[in-house]
A and B are shown apart, each in its own frame.
Chain A
């Protein structure tokens, strides 16, 4: 990989990248012939690159864009435009679901009302809505653009705190179970830079601006640390991650089986509790009392 990156040839690189993507998909049995694939499209380089790569490889994948309702810097508006541009180019359907319409409030309000970090609330809402939409529309696999840097940083964070429950479920493929669709990450063997190169060389415009709410995300810190290690000792990132998923994760999965799921009493989606966390968030965010405090808060912010 390293030599290839140094001798970057514009014609070879995308072909090599596609071959490696196909190999990952086959090795991990990510997509079966009858599968219908839905790509979680954010408008960033990873998800757009993934959608493009899948279509180049002949997979008939559609995209789902979740409008999070983040107005700062026109983040949601611009990212949606990039997603639509690619959809037009590869002639596939881009579905758009608005979080505000589904949940009664945009992501920032949901996070605020439920006292959660925006990123954690956002992640929960995204997983929920992707799964719900895919189930309702007959898709069988949800593909996300997570790359090696994302996965290695997550792994490092989970190892540092020995989050064995999370570690047991960190895998490039999560099979479907009890109403949760199969999830795949076909880009896990590529670094962030390799994915960016693929996207740039294929002239796919993407949103470079990060989500305005991701300030201080600890995954950034781990990504940076891992890159420092990689500079000194090339190949470490991949060894760290690949050895984990091949050797350690299967052992953990056996030792720490996932808790059973049952349908949420409100929405019917799978959950470990009586009412799922997303339904709880939705209820709290839409209480009349909180609507008032929301208003005064946002006015206060614009004045100062």
Chain B
């Protein structure tokens, strides 16, 4: 699937739940919204191989937060990107 996040495109080749995607991107579900077209998805929704989704950070200053997390915070469990 094709994932647009902060103006960049990421490709993932297997289906997964929204929460798995957020984990791969090291994002908190508390501060992130995933949309497929017009549809707002929940953490438990499945993403299919040919889906195109957009990940929106709800936090003002979200891009900085991602850089910050990547630099200073331990990644979570099975996190590989």
Interface residues of A (CB under 8 A from B): 5-8, 10, 44-46, 149, 191-193, 195-197, 200-201, 208-211, 214-217, 220-221, 223-224, 227-228, 230-231
The listed residue (B42, B43, B60, B73) touching A192 by CB distance below 8 A is B60
- A196 and B56 contacting across the interface, CB-CB below 8 Å: yes
A123 to chain B, nearest CB (A): 14
Interface residues of B (CB under 8 A from A): 28-33, 35, 40, 42-44, 56-65, 68-69, 73
B25 to chain A, nearest CB (A): 14
- A210 and B56 contacting across the interface, CB-CB below 8 Å: no
- B58 and A193 contacting across the interface, CB-CB below 8 Å: yes
* C-alpha gap A200/B56 in the complex (Å): 10
> For A7, what are the chain B residues with a Cβ–Cβ distance below 8 Å?
42
> For A45, what are the chain B residues with a Cβ–Cβ distance below 8 Å?
58, 60
Among residues of B, the one whose C-beta sits closest to the C-beta of A221 is: B68
- B28 and A220 contacting across the interface, CB-CB below 8 Å: no
SS of A interface (majority): helix
Among residues of A, the one whose C-beta sits closest to the C-beta of B30 is: A227
> For A224, what are the chain B residues with a Cβ–Cβ distance below 8 Å?
28, 31, 65, 68-69, 73
- A210 and B62 contacting across the interface, CB-CB below 8 Å: yes
> For B60, what are the chain A residues with a Cβ–Cβ distance below 8 Å?
44-46, 192, 210, 214
- B30 and A196 contacting across the interface, CB-CB below 8 Å: no
B21 to chain A, nearest CB (A): 16
> For B30, what are the chain A residues with a Cβ–Cβ distance below 8 Å?
191, 193, 227, 230-231
> For B32, what are the chain A residues with a Cβ–Cβ distance below 8 Å?
193
* C-alpha gap A136/B70 in the complex (Å): 47
- A220 and B58 contacting across the interface, CB-CB below 8 Å: no
* Additional 6 contacts, C-beta under 8 A, given A6-B43, A224-B68: A8-B40, A8-B42, A149-B59, A220-B68, A224-B65, A227-B31
The listed residue (B33, B35, B44, B69) touching A193 by CB distance below 8 A is B33
- A210 and B33 contacting across the interface, CB-CB below 8 Å: no
- B64 and A228 contacting across the interface, CB-CB below 8 Å: no
> For A149, what are the chain B residues with a Cβ–Cβ distance below 8 Å?
31, 59
* C-alpha gap A198/B30 in the complex (Å): 15
- Given the interface pairs A196-B58, A200-B56, A220-B61, the reply to whether A10 lies near B68 with Cβ below 8 Å is no
Can you list 10 A-B pairs, Cβ within 8 angstroms, ordered by A? Answer: A7-B42, A45-B60, A149-B31, A197-B40, A200-B40, A209-B63, A216-B64, A217-B64, A224-B65, A224-B73
Among residues of B, the one whose C-beta sits closest to the C-beta of A196 is: B58
> For B42, what are the chain A residues with a Cβ–Cβ distance below 8 Å?
5-8
> For B73, what are the chain A residues with a Cβ–Cβ distance below 8 Å?
224
- A231 and B28 contacting across the interface, CB-CB below 8 Å: yes
- A223 and B29 contacting across the interface, CB-CB below 8 Å: no
- A197 and B33 contacting across the interface, CB-CB below 8 Å: yes
B79 to chain A, nearest CB (A): 14
